């Protein structure tokens, strides 16, 4: 008891990734964390979005990655979510999909450079692409190791998860996040659109480079910085 609102939000976020075209069949999952309780709510594995109900949502321990409540098995990607919640303190919700355009970049093993203000409004620089996992990482605790490779990439490149709410796992696809599950869905929608635009841009201008830092700063910070002025302020 006590997690009904959380399960309701996570159920809705999972339906939202289907409605937004980010996931077909059962190819995606959304979660949201309750930091105080040390658990997160996540989609059960292999269940269709249109029959999903809040009661189906599974609760998983952040620390162990193990199920703590729910009849169904949690998403097979739960260990990745758990690792990201453990290491990225400000993250409140996570979405994983195989959305088409973003996955194409992951399969090409390329990060998505910031080519315009659409990108700069949400992602503070190039959306990174990790290395592929090694044989040992794949044959071992694969989903946990996926999380570890993401975190290591952010640490190695000095990336801040609060300013870069997305990553492409090479040969796999995107993980995105936000302050809660709904915000993570917004990151997923934005990433897919930015990936599509960047693909078209490179077809028109293969040699194009990222935007100037002053434009990136302006757009990211007018929405996300301390002096943000986009949207309605209290």
Q: Which chain residues interact with its own copies by CB under 8 A? A: 24-27, 44-47, 72-73, 76, 98, 100-101, 103-110, 115-118, 132-133, 135, 138-139, 142, 171-173, 186, 189-190, 193, 196-205, 208, 211-212, 214-215, 218, 222, 229-233
> Which residue's CB is nearer to its own copies, number 1 or number 229?
229
d(CA 46, CA 59): 16
> Is 230 one of the annotated active-site residues of the chain?
yes
Strand ordering across the sheet containing 173-178: 67-69, 58-61, 39-42, 28-34, 93-97, 173-178, 166-169
Catalytic residue of the set 49, 77, 121, 124: 121
Q: Among this protein's residues, is 55 annotated catalytic?
A: no
Taking the complex as a whole, the smallest distance from the CB of residue 36 to its own copies amounts, in Å, to 29
* Nearest residue (CB) to its own copies, 132 versus 144: 132
CB of 223 to its own copies, least distance (A): 9
Residues 6+ apart with CB under 8 A from 154: 88, 128, 160, 161, 164, 167
Q: Pick the closer one to its own copies by CB: 61 or 201.
A: 201
CB of 89 to its own copies, least distance (A): 26
- Contact yes or no for 191/89 (Cβ under 8 A): no
In Å, what is the CA distance from 201 to each residue of 132, 192, 198, 209, 223? 26, 14, 5, 10, 24
Instruction: Using the minimum distance from each CB to its own copies, give the nearer residue, 37 or 72.
Output: 72
**Number of helices (H), then strands (E), in the chain:** 8, 7
Least distance to its own copies from the beta carbon of 138, Å? 5
| 100 Cβ contact partners less than 8 Å away, ≥ 6 residues apart | 192
Helix (H) or strand (E) holding 177: strand 173-178
Could you list the active site residues? 121, 230
């Amino acid at each position: 008891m006590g997690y009904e609102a959380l399960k309701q939000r996570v159920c809705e976020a999972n339906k939202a990734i289907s409605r937004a075209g980010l996931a077909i069949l059962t190819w995606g999952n959304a979660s949201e964390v309750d930091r105080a309780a040390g658990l997160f709510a996540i989609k059960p594995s292999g269940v269709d979005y249109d029959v999903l109900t809040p009661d189906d949502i599974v609760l998983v321990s952040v620390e162990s990655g193990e199920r703590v409540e729910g009849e169904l098995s949690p998403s097979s990607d739960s260990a990745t979510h758990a690792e990201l919640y453990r290491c990225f303190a400000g993250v409140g919700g996570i979405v994983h999909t195989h959305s088409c355009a973003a996955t194409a970049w992951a399969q090409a093993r390329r990060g998505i450079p910031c080519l315009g203000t659409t990108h700069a409004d949400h992602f503070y620089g190039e959306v990174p692409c990790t290395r592929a996992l090694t044989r040992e990482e794949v044959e071992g605790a694969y989903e946990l190791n996926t999380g570890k490779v993401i975190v290591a990439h952010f640490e190695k490149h000095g990336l801040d998860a609060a300013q870069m709410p997305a990553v492409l796992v090479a040969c796999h696809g995107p993980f995105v996040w936000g302050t809660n599950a709904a915000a993570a869905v917004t990151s997923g929608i934005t990433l897919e659109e930015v990936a599509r635009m960047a693909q078209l841009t490179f077809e028109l201008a293969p040699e194009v480079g990222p935007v100037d830092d002053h434009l990136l700063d302006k757009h990211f910070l007018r929405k996300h910085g301390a002096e943000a002025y986009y949207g309605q302020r209290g």
